[in-house]
């Protein structure tokens, strides 16, 4: 990912000020649950594992990596203080989904807490519960909240109860093609299939006609089953060319919830985010206030704890609709860190230890937007195969990036910011 930050006086890359932990001025009742974390396992691999290891090292916490047989030489293994094999004999993805091995490694090596990263087990309530049952803290929401938010259908129902607008959709996962046909007959095409128990663009298929229905139903089911271990799907009316805005939230064990403003991820390819901008350019301030307020309201409704993202779609009439909650850290969390100077992984760990948001200096009135940040995904595709995803070594790059940042200038609304055209090779 390429990431750029615009600040007063120019640009800076990948620099995040750390949270200042305030002196203990709170009542003993707030600190009774505080228990420091000394060793963290990341039940993941690659970039996110390394990101969490970095935060742990900065906090003086020992780190543990897990790896599949195929990932023996991967960098995340080398970055941890300890590393252990999981899923022996399994394919790489299945190895990282093998909960018994992960829990066993954690118990045998005195791990205090497990960070799930994103993808794999990060939104699996059974994994969060397995951690709790094993006496290992889960760096994320409670198992019950993960279950509620991970079930996209239940999350929609909770949003409706909280008075947050939602896109028309099924009230429960569909179990047959006939149910999908009935929904399409009621609401018309286009519709979209979505994985009921996962996100990240997996298990999503847009259907524009009856002829496309069966094939896309089967493909969405297979993708969801492969990615999340559950092929259940639900259906929504598909909005054409909406803005996709997501609000970063953070909660603690004491009922405090704040937002760290929004990210715009409207530019996507195959339901995968390509460009992420924080804050969203040219977003009306009143609309921003409603989005962030509803995100916090929804989080408080379920007793949300730790980091998460509430996602909305905005149509051409500036009407917005809740679509889902990602009850985990997102790939794009770093652009939020850049504009707020809040290290979200530090905050996740401290909240899991039992510290409150005010104790960490995180109050809504103190969270400010400072400049703007852009993150870009580099995708590898084979044009000879209809631009299907592919792998290989990057030998030559040629991409022209951002000829004008005038929209971002308007969105930041801070005097003294300087913007330039950027050319990235």
Largest CA distance in the chain: 65
328 is catalytic: yes
Rounded to whole angstroms, how far apart are CA atoms 412 and 367? 14
Say which of 124, 328, 368, 409 is annotated catalytic: 328
DSSP annotation string for 337-357:
HHHH---HHHHHHHHHHT--T
Under 8 Å between Cβ of 369 and 264: no
Rounded-to-5 percentages of helix, strand, coil across the chain: 35, 25, 45
Kindly report the CA angle at 147 between 335 and 296, in degrees rounded to 5? 45
Rounded to whole angstroms, how far apart are CA atoms 195 and 201? 9
Structure tokens at 327: 């009850």
Helix (H) or strand (E) holding 278: strand 275-278
Task: Kindly give, in sequence order, each residue whose CB lies less than 8 Å from that of residue 178, ignoring residues fewer than 6 positions away.
Answer: none
Task: Determine how β-strand 137-138 pairs with β-strand 113-115.
Answer: parallel
DSSP annotation string for 120-133:
TTTT-HHHHHHHHH
Burial level of 237, CB count in 10 A (0-12/13-18/19+)? middle
Active site residues: 328
């Amino acid at each position: 990912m390429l990431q750029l930050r615009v600040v007063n006086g120019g640009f800076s890359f990948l620099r995040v000020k750390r949270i200042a932990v305030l002196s203990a001025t709170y009542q003993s009742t707030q600190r009774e649950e505080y228990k420091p974390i000394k060793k963290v396992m990341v039940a993941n691999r690659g970039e996110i594992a390394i990101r969490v290891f970095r935060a742990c090292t900065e906090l003086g916490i020992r780190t543990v990596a897990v790896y599949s047989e195929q990932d023996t030489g991967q960098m995340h293994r080398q970055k941890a203080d300890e590393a252990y094999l999981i899923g022996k004999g399994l394919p790489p993805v299945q190895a990282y989904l093998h909960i018994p091995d992960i829990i066993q490694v954690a118990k045998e090596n005195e791990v205090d807490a497990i960070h799930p990263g994103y993808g794999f087990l990060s939104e699996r309530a059974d994994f969060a519960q397995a951690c709790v049952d094993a006496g290992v803290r889960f760096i994320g929401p409670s198992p019950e909240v993960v279950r509620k938010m991970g079930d996209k259908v239940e999350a929609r129902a909770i949003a409706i109860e909280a008075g947050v607008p939602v896109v028309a959709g099924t009230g429960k996962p569909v179990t047959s093609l006939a149910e999908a046909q009935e929904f399409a007959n009621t609401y018309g095409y286009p519709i979209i299939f979505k994985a009921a128990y996962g996100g990240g663009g997996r298990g999503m298929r847009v259907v524009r006609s009856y002829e496309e229905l069966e094939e896309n139903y089967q493909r969405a089911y297979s993708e969801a089953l492969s990615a999340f271990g559950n092929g259940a799907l639900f259906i929504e009316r598909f909005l054409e060319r909406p803005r996709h805005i997501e609000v970063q939230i953070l909660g603690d064990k004491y009922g405090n919830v704040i937002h760290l403003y929004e990210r715009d991820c409207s530019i996507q390819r195959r339901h995968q985010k390509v460009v992420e901008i924080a804050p969203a350019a040219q977003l009306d301030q009143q609309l921003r206030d409603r989005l962030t307020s509803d995100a916090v309201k929804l989080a408080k409704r379920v007793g949300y704890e730790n980091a998460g993202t509430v996602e909305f779609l905005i149509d051409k009439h500036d009407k917005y609709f809740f679509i889902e909650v990602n009850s985990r850290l997102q790939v794009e969390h770093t652009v939020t860190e850049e504009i707020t100077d809040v290290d979200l992984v530090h905050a996740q760990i401290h909240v899991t230890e039992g510290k409150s948001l005010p104790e960490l200096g995180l109050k809504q009135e103190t969270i400010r937007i400072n400049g703007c940040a852009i993150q870009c995904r580099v995708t590898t595709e084979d044009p000879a195969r209809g631009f299907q995803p592919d792998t290989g070594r990057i030998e030559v790059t040629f991409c022209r990036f951002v000829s004008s940042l005038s929209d971002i200038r308007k969105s930041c609304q801070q005097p003294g910011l300087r913007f330039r055209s950027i050319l990235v090779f």
